[in-house]
């Protein structure tokens, strides 16, 4: 899978348990339906002059995307996305009765500003969804492409930044584009960078009117007191959590370099995984790695596999195994 393989640090875990213990004392009451403390924490974490009014949270960014499509999509409306991309985008579209329009990327999975504008002009979607960096390819999305999409679209433009923290330091995120763009929505998650997938915490940053629209479709009290308490506690340790992210990004770069040495063609990646081409038989390689206790991802793409960066030790085990197995299986010609 592509979640964070690092367990959360022990001092953070202790703080979370203390917060949960406090929350259980009031568990007979409904939670704060506006999750104010969590929105304060998330706004502080994101920076970029965002205030709690700009933040909305839900049980994972999948729920964020579902609430957005419930509010802005639905029967008779459409959403434009660019496969190969996060599979839940089209699944949530279908679950909310929103018509999925698959755009076509340029070479190497890039989406240029002119490509995105061309697709928006041709299909006139109600929603545009872009994934930055893209899952499953790791491809970066330029700020110029997001700006161009926003200018061309008449409806909301969602940028799914689930892996934003793994991008190279100092690269601008779509958050920098929020001022003056009330239809732009940046979706984030604590599942990946914060190693918090089991807690189910996703969130968005956007103009406060976006949260007001979601308030019409969300179920009351959708975020439990435990979820809120755990997330607030984890956010207080953001620096410690992000130190892990740097280590994962280093392992990702190591995977890219080593796979290229072995003879594969890895794509550049700004996320915590690497898609690579040149695999003679992806299914056989997947099974052989599995037999050694290593799970990577067979996406059903010819000659391609995807691997997530883990700890340094896990990465070494994977790289040694694939080097050996490549001697046995060869490379795709």
Structure token pair of residue 150: 């926003």
Using CA of residue 144, residue 149, residue 154, residue 157, what is the dihedral sign?
negative
- In whole angstroms, the minimum distance from the beta carbon of 140 to ligand PLP comes to 13
165 binds ligand PLP (CB under 6 A): no
Q: What is the distance between the alpha carbons of residues 59 and 110, in angstroms, rounded to a whole number?
A: 30
User: Which part of the chain contacts ligand PLP (CB under 6 A), choosing from 58-66, 116-124, 304-312, 318-326?
Assistant: 58-66
Among 162, 229, 307, 319, binds ligand PLP (CB under 6 A): 162
- Of the candidate residues 39, 153, 160, 194, the single one contacting ligand PLP (CB under 6 A): 160
Residue by residue, DSSP assigns 128-178 as EEEESSPTTT-----HHHHHHHHHH-SSEEEEE-TTGGGSPTTPPPGGGG-
Q: Using the minimum distance from each CB to ligand PLP, give the nearer residue, 168 or 180.
A: 168
Of 61 and 227, the one with the shorter C-beta distance to ligand PLP is: 61
Residue placing its CB nearer to ligand PLP in the complex, 86 or 264: 86
Using alpha carbons, list the distances in angstroms from residue 252 to 31, 161, 247, 258, 314: 39, 18, 9, 10, 12
Residue 307 sits in the site that holds ligand PLP (CB under 6 A): no
Which of 4, 90, 135, 269 lies at the binding interface for ligand PLP (CB under 6 A)?
135
**From the CB of 11, what's the least distance to ligand PLP, in Å?**
24
Count residues near ligand PLP (CB under 6 A): 12
Residue nearest to ligand PLP (CB): 60
Binding test (CB under 6 A) with ligand PLP, winner from 31, 52, 202, 278: 202
CB 149 within 8 A of CB 117: yes
Contact call for residue 203 and ligand PLP (CB under 6 A): no
Decide if 56 contacts 211 (C-beta within 8 A). yes
* Stretch in the footprint of ligand PLP (CB under 6 A) among 57-65, 109-117, 177-185, 295-303: 57-65
- Enter the tokens of residue 271: 């996320």
Unique residue bearing structure tokens 């994101």: 46
The alpha carbons of the chain give a radius of gyration, in whole angstroms, of 20
Q: Rounded to whole angstroms, how far apart are CA atoms 266 and 296?
A: 14
- C-beta of 253: minimal distance to ligand PLP in Å? 19
Instruction: Please report, as ranges, the residues that interact with ligand PLP according to CB under 6 A.
Output: 60-62, 86, 131, 135, 160, 162, 189, 191, 197, 202
């Amino acid at each position: 899978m592509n979640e964070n393989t690092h367990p959360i640090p022990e001092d953070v875990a202790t703080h979370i348990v203390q917060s949960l213990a406090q929350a259980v004392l009031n568990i007979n009451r409904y939670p704060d339906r506006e999750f104010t403390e969590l929105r304060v924490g998330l706004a502080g974490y994101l920076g970029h002059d965002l205030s709690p009014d700009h933040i909305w949270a839900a049980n994972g960014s999948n729920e964020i995307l579902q609430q957005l499509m419930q509010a802005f999509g639905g029967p008779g409306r459409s959403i434009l996305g660019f496969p190969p991309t996060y599979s839940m985008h089209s699944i949530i579209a279908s679950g909310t009765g929103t018509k999925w329009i698959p755009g076509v990327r340029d070479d190497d999975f890039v989406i240029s500003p002119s490509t995105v504008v061309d697709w928006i002009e041709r299909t006139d979607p109600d929603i545009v969804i872009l994934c930055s960096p893209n899952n499953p390819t790791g491809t970066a999305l330029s700020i110029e492409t997001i700006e161009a999409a926003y200018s061309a679209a008449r409806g909301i433009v969602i940028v799914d930044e689930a892996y934003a923290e793994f991008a190279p330091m100092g690269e601008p995120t779509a958050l920098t584009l929020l001022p003056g763009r009330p239809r732009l929505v940046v979706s984030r998650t604590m599942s990946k960078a914060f190693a918090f997938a089991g807690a189910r915490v996703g969130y968005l940053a956007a103009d406060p009117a976006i949260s007001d629209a979601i308030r019409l479709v969300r179920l009351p009290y959708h975020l439990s007191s435990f979820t809120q308490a755990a997330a607030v506690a984890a956010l207080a340790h953001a620096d410690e959590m992000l130190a892990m992210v740097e280590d994962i990004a280093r392992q990702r770069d190591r995977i890219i370099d080593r796979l290229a040495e072995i003879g594969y063609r890895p794509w550049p990646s700004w996320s915590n995984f690497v898609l690579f081409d040149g695999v003679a038989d992806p299914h056989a390689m997947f099974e052989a790695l599995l037999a050694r206790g290593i799970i990577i991802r067979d996406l059903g793409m010819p000659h391609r596999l995807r691997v997530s960066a883990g700890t340094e030790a896990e990465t070494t085990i994977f790289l040694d195994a694939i080097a050996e197995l490549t001697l046995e299986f060869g490379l795709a010609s």
